[in-house]
Structure 1
Protein backbone atom coordinates (compact mmCIF):
# COMPACT_ATOMS: atom_id res chain seq x y z
CA UNK A 1 0.00 0.00 0.00
CA UNK A 2 1.06 3.54 -0.65
CA UNK A 3 0.58 5.85 2.32
CA UNK A 4 1.07 9.56 1.79
CA UNK A 5 0.30 12.64 3.87
CA UNK A 6 -1.68 15.56 2.40
CA UNK A 7 0.11 18.74 3.43
CA UNK A 8 -1.63 22.13 3.93
CA UNK A 9 0.30 23.63 0.98
CA UNK A 10 -1.45 21.18 -1.34
CA UNK A 11 1.49 18.80 -1.85
CA UNK A 12 1.75 15.10 -1.07
CA UNK A 13 4.52 14.01 1.24
CA UNK A 14 5.76 10.54 2.09
CA UNK A 15 5.40 9.75 5.80
CA UNK A 16 8.61 9.49 7.83
CA UNK A 17 10.07 6.06 8.42
CA UNK A 18 9.19 4.64 11.83
CA UNK A 19 12.10 3.85 14.11
CA UNK A 20 10.98 0.77 16.01
CA UNK A 21 14.17 0.13 17.89
CA UNK A 22 13.78 -1.81 21.17
CA UNK A 23 13.84 1.39 23.26
CA UNK A 24 11.16 3.05 21.13
CA UNK A 25 9.09 -0.14 21.20
CA UNK A 26 9.35 -0.25 24.99
CA UNK A 27 8.22 3.38 25.26
CA UNK A 28 5.21 2.65 23.05
CA UNK A 29 4.26 -0.35 25.21
CA UNK A 30 4.63 1.69 28.39
CA UNK A 31 2.53 4.46 26.86
CA UNK A 32 -0.13 1.90 25.95
CA UNK A 33 -0.14 0.53 29.51
CA UNK A 34 -0.42 4.07 30.90
CA UNK A 35 -3.40 4.89 28.65
CA UNK A 36 -5.13 1.61 29.50
CA UNK A 37 -4.45 2.21 33.20
CA UNK A 38 -6.11 5.63 32.99
CA UNK A 39 -9.11 4.21 31.15
CA UNK A 40 -9.32 1.33 33.63
CA UNK A 41 -9.23 3.77 36.54
CA UNK A 42 -11.95 5.91 34.99
CA UNK A 43 -14.01 2.79 34.26
CA UNK A 44 -13.54 1.60 37.83
CA UNK A 45 -14.80 4.85 39.30
CA UNK A 46 -17.62 5.18 36.81
CA UNK A 47 -19.15 1.68 36.68
CA UNK A 48 -16.66 -0.65 38.40
CA UNK A 49 -15.53 -2.62 35.37
CA UNK A 50 -12.05 -3.94 34.55
CA UNK A 51 -10.52 -3.24 31.17
CA UNK A 52 -10.40 -6.63 29.43
CA UNK A 53 -7.09 -6.06 27.63
CA UNK A 54 -5.08 -5.06 30.69
CA UNK A 55 -4.19 -8.63 31.82
CA UNK A 56 -3.09 -9.40 28.25
CA UNK A 57 -0.77 -6.39 28.17
CA UNK A 58 0.78 -7.39 31.50
CA UNK A 59 1.57 -10.81 30.03
CA UNK A 60 3.94 -9.15 27.53
CA UNK A 61 6.52 -8.72 30.28
Structure 2
Protein backbone atom coordinates (compact mmCIF):
# COMPACT_ATOMS: atom_id res chain seq x y z
CA UNK A 1 0.00 0.00 0.00
CA UNK A 2 1.25 3.47 -0.90
CA UNK A 3 1.37 6.18 1.79
CA UNK A 4 -0.53 9.19 0.41
CA UNK A 5 -0.13 11.35 3.52
CA UNK A 6 1.95 13.98 1.71
CA UNK A 7 -0.14 13.98 -1.46
CA UNK A 8 -0.87 17.39 -2.93
CA UNK A 9 -4.24 16.98 -4.67
CA UNK A 10 -5.37 19.07 -7.63
CA UNK A 11 -8.56 18.99 -9.64
CA UNK A 12 -8.17 17.31 -13.00
CA UNK A 13 -8.40 19.69 -15.95
CA UNK A 14 -10.86 17.23 -17.51
CA UNK A 15 -13.29 17.55 -14.57
CA UNK A 16 -14.38 21.15 -15.08
CA UNK A 17 -18.01 22.12 -15.48
CA UNK A 18 -19.70 18.96 -14.31
CA UNK A 19 -21.44 20.06 -11.13
CA UNK A 20 -18.62 19.38 -8.70
CA UNK A 21 -18.14 15.71 -9.48
CA UNK A 22 -14.42 15.79 -10.05
CA UNK A 23 -11.38 13.62 -10.27
CA UNK A 24 -8.38 14.79 -8.26
CA UNK A 25 -4.81 13.86 -9.09
CA UNK A 26 -1.68 13.95 -6.92
CA UNK A 27 1.57 13.76 -8.83
CA UNK A 28 3.98 15.09 -6.23
CA UNK A 29 4.94 11.77 -4.65
CA UNK A 30 8.06 9.94 -5.85
CA UNK A 31 7.27 7.12 -8.26
CA UNK A 32 3.49 7.28 -8.00
CA UNK A 33 0.50 9.21 -9.34
CA UNK A 34 -2.65 8.96 -7.20
CA UNK A 35 -6.22 9.55 -8.37
CA UNK A 36 -9.34 9.94 -6.21
CA UNK A 37 -12.96 11.03 -6.34
CA UNK A 38 -13.31 14.55 -4.97
CA UNK A 39 -16.72 13.70 -3.50
CA UNK A 40 -15.01 11.14 -1.24
CA UNK A 41 -11.60 12.59 -0.33
CA UNK A 42 -11.15 10.16 2.57
CA UNK A 43 -12.14 7.18 0.46
CA UNK A 44 -9.94 4.98 -1.68
CA UNK A 45 -7.46 6.25 -4.24
CA UNK A 46 -6.07 4.52 -7.28
CA UNK A 47 -2.31 4.61 -7.76
CA UNK A 48 -0.32 4.37 -10.97
CA UNK A 49 3.29 4.53 -11.99
CA UNK A 50 4.02 7.82 -13.76
CA UNK A 51 4.50 5.91 -17.04
CA UNK A 52 1.14 4.12 -16.69
CA UNK A 53 -0.63 7.39 -15.86
CA UNK A 54 0.95 9.15 -18.84
CA UNK A 55 -0.18 6.29 -21.07
CA UNK A 56 -3.72 6.50 -19.70
CA UNK A 57 -3.87 10.26 -20.26
CA UNK A 58 -2.56 9.90 -23.83
CA UNK A 59 -5.23 7.29 -24.48
CA UNK A 60 -8.03 9.61 -23.35
CA UNK A 61 -7.06 12.57 -25.53
CA UNK A 62 -9.13 13.33 -28.56
CA UNK A 63 -7.33 13.76 -31.86
Relative contact order: is structure 1 or structure 2 higher (C-alpha 8 Å, sep ≥ 6)? 2
Which structure dedicates a bigger proportion of its chain to strand? 2
Which structure dedicates a bigger proportion of its chain to helix? 1
User: TM-score w.r.t. structure 1 length?
Assistant: 0.26
User: TM-score w.r.t. structure 2 length?
Assistant: 0.25
